Structure 1
Amino acid sequence: MMGWFGGGIMMIVFWALFIALIVWIVREVSGRHSHSSSQALAILKERYARGEISKEEFESKKKDLL
């Protein structure tokens, strides 16, 4: 007779789901950070190319992003 929800099998399933959730969260967080940073750098380059900001301002903001 199996005890509490199948015993050891349910514990393995629980930990597998828990680890999968942690991996998914880490991938989501790290993926969005790099995407938003590269998008911000692209916008900064466009502003510099259009002459909206000076070279000094461009370099300063670029340092902040990277």
Structure 2
Amino acid sequence: MMFWYDHDVSGWGWFAMSAGMILFWALIITVAVLLFRALDRPQEHTRTPAPPSAEDILRERLARGEIDEEEYRRLLNALHAGPLAKP
């Protein structure tokens, strides 16, 4: 019954299996850590919205009823005219 002893794993076989198992678990742990870090990091591509322009604020004030249409047009014309020149 030599069949049972013919297929023994040599020293290099044990080394290869051990190294393979260590590399396998290192790969699994590395992927898990990288995935966790990627999901935990705040999104860099999301930007904060730009502050509303003066025209947007005027439109909102008109919509809320804080100013009437006449004052809206007057203030809008003043915005488009540019800064006031001081004599």
Structure with greater Cα Rg: 2
Question: Higher helix share goes to which structure?
Answer: 1
Query: RCO greater where, 1 or 2, for CA within 8 Å and sep 6 or more?
Result: 1
